[in-house]
Amino acid sequence: MAAKAKIRALVAGNWKMNGLKASKKEVVSLGKRLAPKGKTAKRPACDVLVCPPATLIASLKEAAKGTKIAIGGQDCHAKASGAHTGDLSAEMLKDAGATFVIVGHSERRADHGETDAVVRAKAEAAHRAGLVAIVCVGETEKQRDAGETLSVIATQLAGSLPDGLNAKTTVVAYEPVWAIGTGRTPTVEDVAKVHAEIRAILKKRFKAEGEAMRLLYGGSVKPSNAAELMSVPNVNGALVGGASLKAEDFHGIVAAYA
């Protein structure tokens, strides 16, 4: 609990494959909600991040100017440049205005066959480029039903996190696959159990850095359940999909930290 008080929370929105130029207005609106009545931008009680599709990074960065909203990517290639048609490097995301990048989201792992080793290389790429890596882990429903949740998470963490991490440049997100986009969430007891285990693993491997690292919960977080989920020990913020698309909903989650 003591460690939790010291960790500044992060509420991160993952827009996934949603958003066109017009979606810029959501970031403008979010910025206004974070600093009401056009006063000098006030630091919200948590860090706020929006990860749009890469096509919108530059324009959302522009829209977020003067606010405390950070902009991030949703994935990156492990290499800095080269013959990889259609891919984007961490350096490119940074160049476009990103300061964070999500790696190893379960949709990337499932849709693109990303292994723990691939995710680890991407996290290393993020660090090479000077981005904060949000490394995602989480069990499927089948694994959960088989009682494998903690062992799956342990294996993913061992394989996906590079050595020598520090808490400033790495965030871990626990996202049970069965809770993503389904409206279902684990009980607070289950979230507490998994997050305590993740904290113990990080502490063992990364010592003080593991103790200070931010652990996000993700999977059907919405304004109505955010405060409860965020009050769980070792939960230092949220990774939000669907409810991050509209400024009003996303701000409702950020407000859980007010």
248 classed as catalytic: no
91 classed as catalytic: no
Q: Determine which residue in the list 175, 194, 198, 202 makes contact with ligand PGA, applying CB under 6 A.
A: 175
**13 makes contact with ligand PGA (CB under 6 A):** no
Stretch that binds ligand PGA, among 26-34, 69-77, 141-149, 217-225 (CB under 6 A): 217-225
Q: Determine which residue in the list 241, 250, 254, 256 makes contact with ligand PGA, applying CB under 6 A.
A: 241
Q: Which of 105, 127, 195, 251 is catalytic?
A: 105
> 130 or 181: whose CB is closer to ligand PGA?
181
**240 makes contact with ligand PGA (CB under 6 A):** yes
Region 85-124 residues binding ligand PGA, contact defined as CB under 6 A: none
Q: Determine which residue in the list 88, 218, 232, 249 makes contact with ligand PGA, applying CB under 6 A.
A: 218
Residue showing the smallest CB distance to ligand PGA in the complex:
241
**14 makes contact with ligand PGA (CB under 6 A):** yes
**162 makes contact with ligand PGA (CB under 6 A):** no
Nearest to 218 by CA among 154, 142, 135, 149: 135
Q: Which residues belong to the active site? A: 105, 175
Which residues form the interface with ligand PGA (CB under 6 A)?
Answer: 14, 175, 180-181, 218-221, 239-243
